[in-house]
Structure 1
Amino acid sequence: MSASEYSDENSVLREDLNFPYRLLRPANASGECLFVLHGSGVDETTMLPLARRIAPRSVVVAARGRVPQEDGFRWFERITPTSFEQASIHAETAAYARFATEAARRHGLDLKRATFLGYSNGANVVSSLMLLHPGLVRQAALLRAMPVLDPSPKTDLRGTRVLIIAGAADQTYGPFAHALVTLFSERRAEVDARIVASGHEFGDADAAIVRQWLAGPMAIA
């Protein structure tokens, strides 16, 4: 989809809610929407090409994490690459829940037709969102994610559809993929787990898998 097929609002970084964000609304919008959460050390623009390939007719809401890291941002504080500050996870996840709810209300989006697409640190926010704020997310695609809550609440996630894509050569998060699949399966989410031939980075294989997965039926609560 070319830039001309998006309205002028798409180039604007909005700061009218509690997270800076960009809203992409295609001229032929289908009614679905995609909430996109980037990884560590970058910003909200990083995931936009992937989002367009996955769902070219969806409205895209791409927010920016509020914790500075190097030349970019992340979503919550970390202690090591695979251990995280729990108070920060809870606070920032609650803040994002408020953001998503208000962004949907303000821009006329239906959260029942929304998919939350997260990569790495952003995927960890989405998984925390499902566990800490049940009912908000009905459908989520998690790229290179791991369990981050300690302890993880025993949330009943029936009616939630989750796609988990791990990288076969991802030495950072790859070893935790099975634990994440088990976590969501035990909480009765509808889980689809895949492995792609890559490291921690995402690419064309992820886009193809997510796009195919989105073509399936939305989970029924």
Structure 2
Amino acid sequence: MNQAGDTDLRQDLSFVYRIRRQLAGSDETLVLLHGSGVDETTMMPLGTSIAPGATLIAVRGRVMQEGSRRWFTRITPTRFGQGSIRAEVHAFDRFLDELGEADGLDARKAVFIGYSNGANLLSSLMLLRPGRVRRAVLLRAMPVLTRAPDADLSAASVLILAGARDETYGPFAPALADLLRSRKAAVTARTVAAGHEFGPEDAEHVRAWLRPEAAGLAKLPNGF
């Protein structure tokens, strides 16, 4: 039996994922969704930086397109296969039930952190399966559903972090914030001094958002 802090690669459920069990004294769980062209391993260091003692569940997207691993198919850099989005959201929703049975995950208590394509899958999950995700961090995200349902997200809290130099996704971040706010989600939106990549400043903002008593959110700049 693995000890707390060890990382397992699991391939027995509908998505491949890595899990690092929580360390003593922590009751946090972070579910991590990677961006295009990489895999779940790229998100583990970010999760550790945000919450060193938390249980980390880093999931691997299932779609392969032109040799690149993704969460759903892309038509252009800013247009996406709507059927693919909905099919993979449905599959990921079912996977969360599997995780609950296999690893005791309570999705309502977890923090979901998605980057780029993973963030776009996550926001789509929130809109198509309202109530499933209560706390979400969306890094370098944009709206991807052409017909977003009129979901009730009043139980959800969302942090959106856009890159000031992200020329592809950055311009769409305010529209995503407006979309989620229009569905009654509590949205905090910030811009960081970065491009499309994420880094230490993102981790700092996420930590402050998760623990506002330690770092007042009102002091963080560049809301939109």
Matched, 1:16 2:3: no
Matched, 1:141 2:137: yes
**Structure possessing the higher relative contact order (Cα contacts under 8 Å, 6 or more residues apart):** 1
Q: After superposition, what is the alpha-carbon deviation per residue over 1:37-88, rounded to whole angstroms, capped at 9, x for unaligned?
A: 0000000000100000001121111110011245551100000011000000
Match of 1:105 among 97, 101, 105: 101
Choose 69-78 or 91-100, whichever is displaced more.
69-78
SS at match of 2:204: helix
Q: Give the distance between the partners of 1:65 and 1:121, measured in 2 at CA.
A: 9
Cα gap change, 1:139 to 1:59, in 2 (>3 Å): same
Q: After superposition, what is the alpha-carbon deviation per residue over 1:14-49, rounded to whole angstroms, capped at 9, x for unaligned?
A: 111101111111332522211100000000000100
How many percent of aligned residue pairs carry the same amino acid?
A: 57
Query: What is the match of residue 37 of structure 2?
Result: 41
Give the aligned residue type for 2:187.
V
In structure 1, the gaps of 5 or more residues are: none
Q: Give the distance between the partners of 1:37 and 1:16, measured in 2 at CA.
A: 18
SS at match of 1:47: helix
TM-score, normalised relative to structure 1? 0.91
Q: Give the distance between the partners of 1:41 and 1:71, measured in 2 at CA.
A: 8
Q: Contact 2:30 / 2:110 at 8 angstroms: preserved in 1? A: yes
How many residues are aligned here? Answer: 211
Match of 2:69 among 57, 73, 92: 73
TM-score, normalised relative to structure 2? 0.90
> Pairwise CA RMSD of aligned residues?
1.5
Q: Give, in angstroms, the shift of residue 159 of structure 1.
A: 1.2
Matched, 1:115 2:111: yes
Q: Give the distance between the partners of 1:152 and 1:111, measured in 2 at CA.
A: 22
Query: What is the match of residue 89 of structure 2?
Result: 93
Matched, 1:187 2:183: yes
Q: Give the distance between the partners of 1:29 and 1:69, measured in 2 at CA.
A: 41
User: 4+ residue stretches of structure 1 with deviation over 4 A?
Assistant: 69-72
Q: Contact 2:158 / 2:185 at 8 angstroms: preserved in 1? A: yes
Q: Give, in angstroms, the shift of residue 208 of structure 1.
A: 0.3
In structure 2, the gaps of 5 or more residues are: 214-224
Matched, 1:132 2:132: no
Q: Give the distance between the partners of 1:214 and 1:70, measured in 2 at CA.
A: 37
SS at match of 2:126: helix
Q: Give the distance between the partners of 2:184 and 2:106, measured in 1 at CA.
A: 24
Cα gap change, 1:72 to 1:24, in 2 (>3 Å): farther
SS at match of 1:150: coil
Give the aligned residue type for 2:5.
Y
Q: Contact 2:5 / 2:22 at 8 angstroms: preserved in 1? A: yes
Q: Give the distance between the partners of 2:119 and 2:134, measured in 1 at CA.
A: 15
